[in-house]
Structure 1
Amino acid sequence: MVGLVFLEAPGLASMLSPEMFDRLCAAGTRMSYADGALVQTRGDARPGLSIIRGGAVQIGNPGHDGSFVITSILGPGHCFGEMTLFGDLPRTHDAIAKGATLIDHVSPAVYERFAEADPTLTRAIMTMMARRLHALLEFTDDLRRLPLKVQVAKLLLATACDGRVDATQEEVAARFGVSRVAIGTALRALERDRLVKRGYGGIDVPDGAALARWIEQRAVLAPIPG
């Protein structure tokens, strides 16, 4: 099971009826990817919707030093490639399988057939894209305005499941495009305030409400001038 989904937006599966989601996936072409396999590359013009059924996918691009800077990690029920359907745009990021991964690739023709039969599909995609854009704008603002430890705290709060984030410090560092040392420093600061606890292969968030209050005290925006 994938515990970490860096994208703070709902997956397609949560926005469709189970019957509709299963039928859409079944109409696609299922592909199996081994851990570390390349699913797509930046600039790939192949159109269609890619739906994750098992495993996970890291979305990102290489950094100037050869590292892989992760934009998001998507788990089962999430999808990518919607910009190729609605904007006729090439794919903007590399996608790499994280663990053994199954993906149903839905062609534009199949998507159009389903969308014409049931308009709720396109409404779900549009809602999902709007929420992704909202999360992206929030993240961009955080990068420009907040100290790294506050950015990390917001990520941990958003992605914790039952009080735990199943992510290594390297994965968190890749999310922000910084070194593991920088993330370690941020996490130590949060640990000193007893807001998180580092463990093997993950980070515990013992009191989400306390972490939320801590973030609110440090991330309040100034009023917009009238």
Structure 2
Amino acid sequence: MAGLVFLDAPGLASMLPPGMFERLCASGTRMSYAEGALVQARGDARPGLSIIRDGAVQIGNPGLDGSFVITSILGPGHCFGEMTLFADLPRTHDAVAKGATLIDLVSPAAYERFAEANPALTRAIMTMMARRLYALLEFADDLRRLPLRVQLAKLLLATAGEDGVTATHEELAARFGVSRVAIGTALRGLEKDQLVRRRYGRIELPDRPSLRAWIADRTMLAPV
């Protein structure tokens, strides 16, 4: 499924030597999910590494007030559930299939056998987790410090593909825990500054160097 991957971190597939990713997936159990199916629920204690082979998974949590905040949307080659392997912790978020989705679930025992024979796997997992934590720390600081328009610009720049970003206003609103109206206002402001172009279901970034400079002028932090 083509679309937005709300995660400024590489997928596991891109971090493993050729052939290793396919062998790892083959060590798991193939699971098939229809659009909207619940892949996991917050508090699920089932351990294992979930690897997305096709489709996408929306990670987030519903609030008691009926709101839903998206943490990330993951696509093929990404994985989740690492904390259940290394820290014996329950899953912290709901995961819902976006479109027909295939997932290979690698059990702790299968992971241990594979990692023992392929040390590069655990190094890749640790690097991936560090990159995710790095991105989340930046995002947490942005939430406290930056206006929504700047937060949105950073997300669009970080997650854009060649054709821009494929996302609905609802998805963007849920990512930041705000209303569709607030997202629409932020996008109109960016479009007025000629930094984005809104299309149906898609946001184009016509001048990424200018967008990057615009963000840098407003982050109020030293670059890293």
TM-score (norm. length: structure 1): 0.96
The within-5 A match list for 1:49-60 is 49-60=49-60
The within-5 A match list for 1:112-191 is 112-191=112-191
Q: What is the rounded CA distance, in whole Å, between the counterparts of 1:64 and 1:188 in structure 2?
A: 31
Q: Name the stretch that deviates more: 61-70 or 158-167.
A: 61-70
Give the match for residue 19 of structure 1: 19
Equivalent pair of 1:163/1:207 in contact (CA under 8 Å): no
Q: What is the rounded CA distance, in whole Å, between the counterparts of 1:118 and 1:22 in structure 2?
A: 13
- Matched AA of 1:158: A
Displacement of 1:163: 4.0
Q: What is the rounded CA distance, in whole Å, between the counterparts of 2:96 and 2:217 in structure 1?
A: 37
- Matched AA of 2:106: V
Secondary structure in structure 2 of the residue aligned to 1:47: coil
- Matched AA of 1:167: A
1:190-222 CA-to-partner distances (Å, cap 9, x unmatched) read 011000011101111111111001000001316
- Matched AA of 1:87: A
Give the match for residue 96 of structure 2: 96
Displacement of 1:65: 2.9
Unaligned runs of 5+ residues in structure 1 are: none
Q: What is the rounded CA distance, in whole Å, between the counterparts of 2:207 and 2:159 in structure 1?
A: 14
Give the match for residue 9 of structure 2: 9
Equivalent pair of 1:195/1:206 in contact (CA under 8 Å): yes
Displacement of 1:5: 0.5
Unaligned runs of 5+ residues in structure 2 are: none
Displacement of 1:96: 0.2
Equivalent pair of 1:49/1:107 in contact (CA under 8 Å): yes
Displacement of 1:64: 3.8
Please state if 1:208 is matched with 2:208.
yes
Secondary structure in structure 2 of the residue aligned to 1:161: coil
Secondary structure in structure 1 of the residue aligned to 2:19: helix
Secondary structure in structure 2 of the residue aligned to 1:31: strand
Count matched residues. Answer: 223
Runs of 4+ in 1 over 2 A off after TM superposition: none
Identity of aligned residues (%): 80
Q: What is the rounded CA distance, in whole Å, between the counterparts of 1:194 and 1:72 in structure 2?
A: 27
Aligned-pair Cα RMSD in Å: 1.1
Secondary structure in structure 2 of the residue aligned to 1:5: coil
Displacement of 1:63: 2.6
Please state if 1:28 is matched with 2:28.
yes
Secondary structure in structure 2 of the residue aligned to 1:83: helix
Secondary structure in structure 2 of the residue aligned to 1:221: coil
Equivalent pair of 1:163/1:208 in contact (CA under 8 Å): no
- Matched AA of 1:6: F
Q: Name the stretch that deviates more: 203-212 or 59-68.
A: 59-68
TM-score (norm. length: structure 2): 0.97
Q: What is the rounded CA distance, in whole Å, between the counterparts of 2:74 and 2:2 in structure 1?
A: 9
Q: What is the rounded CA distance, in whole Å, between the counterparts of 1:215 and 1:137 in structure 2?
A: 17
Give the match for residue 71 of structure 1: 71
Give the match for residue 105 of structure 2: 105
